[in-house]
């Protein structure tokens, strides 16, 4: 019977196993690095998207600040004129002006665009911002906005108390006829020389005092808004420079 003998298989050298291991390790490492790089790229693009959206919100806030600044500057001057009329007693001679100025003195609401800021804080967006000094600047802006809103709320409360007092002194029928039907504002100056419901000095003085408080808070908010506007413009320029976003964003603009 013929027996076939198999020739022994040549044993692989240790260097062969080393190179197999090395190539496998290299492939895994490169795959990890590529995936890590891809994740960094995706997160960086998300970061830029957040910043673009934040800049748009800040520009909208700046436009709202400009509107509020213009209105408060006008309203505070009208308030000064009203207070002088009440204190001097000349409201009896200038009833039309008194009613017009009394109707114009009111608080102006400030509404900010905080959608992106809420996402940054509540949806983990802040972790995407890699530089701490950028986070610090953004959070300072958020703090200043919140502080302003609290001040505006105080002005609104004072304006409401002033409004309650006007109901005791001014004829509501005259106020009603002053309403502009297109805007809903008391913007129509009344005809003639309408008189107040009372000439009681203590009552008039109480109204003048409350009007003074409203005007004082308007001027305080006016200074705060001008300061915040300057900060917001610097922040926009800073973010655009850091992220190389020099283009104007659609829908975001400044009022002159």
Q: Which of 172, 159, 171, 156 is nearest to 210 (CA)?
A: 159
Angle subtended by helix axes 95-104 and 14-88, to nearest 10: 160
**pLDDT digits 0-9 by tens, 138-194:** 999 999 999 999 999 999 999 999 999 999 999 999 999 999 888 888 888 999 999
Question: Higher model confidence: residue 90 or residue 183?
Answer: 90
In which band, very low, low, confident or very high, does the pLDDT at 251 lie, cut at 50, 70 and 90?
Answer: very low
Q: What is the C-alpha to C-alpha distance for residues 167 and 161, in angstroms, rounded to an integer?
A: 10
Residue 62 scores a pLDDT above 90: yes
Residue 58 scores a pLDDT above 90: yes
pTM for the whole structure: 0.79
pLDDT of residue 39: 54
In which band, very low, low, confident or very high, does the pLDDT at 3 lie, cut at 50, 70 and 90?
Answer: low
pLDDT of residue 255: 41
Q: Are 187 and 38 in contact (CB under 8 A)?
A: no
In which band, very low, low, confident or very high, does the pLDDT at 45 lie, cut at 50, 70 and 90?
Answer: confident
Q: Are 203 and 168 in contact (CB under 8 A)?
A: yes
Residue 256 scores a pLDDT above 50: no
Phi, psi of 63 (to 5 degrees): -65, -40
Run of H or E residues at 157: helix 132-169
């Amino acid at each position: 019977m013929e027996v076939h003998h198999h020739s022994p298989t040549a044993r692989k050298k240790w260097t062969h196993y080393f190179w197999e291991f090395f190539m496998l390790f290299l492939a895994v490492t490169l795959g990890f690095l590529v995936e890590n790089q891809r994740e960094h790229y995706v997160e960086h693009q998300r970061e830029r998207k957040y910043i673009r959206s934040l800049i748009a919100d800040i520009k909208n806030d700046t436009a709202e600040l400009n509107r509020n600044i213009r209105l408060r500057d006008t309203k505070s001057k009208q308030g000064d004129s009203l207070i002088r009329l009440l204190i001097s007693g000349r409201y009896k001679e200038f009833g039309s002006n008194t009613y017009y100025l009394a109707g114009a003195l009111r608080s102006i609401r400030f509404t900010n665009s905080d959608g992106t800021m809420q996402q940054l804080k509540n949806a983990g967006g802040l972790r995407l911002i890699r530089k701490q000094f950028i986070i610090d600047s953004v959070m300072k802006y958020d703090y200043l906005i919140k502080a302003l809103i609290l001040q505006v709320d105080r002005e609104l409360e004072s304006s409401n108390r002033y409004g309650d007092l006007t109901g005791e002194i001014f004829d509501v029928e005259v106020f009603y006829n002053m309403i502009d039907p297109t805007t809903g504002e008391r913007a129509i100056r009344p005809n003639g020389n309408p008189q107040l419901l009372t000439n009681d000095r203590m009552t008039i003085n109480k109204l003048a005092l409350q009007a003074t408080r409203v005007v004082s808070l308007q001027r305080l908010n006016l200074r705060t808004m001008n300061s915040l506007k300057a900060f917001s413009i610097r922040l926009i320029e800073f973010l655009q420079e850091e992220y190389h976003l020099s283009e104007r964003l659609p829908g975001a603009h400044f009022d002159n």
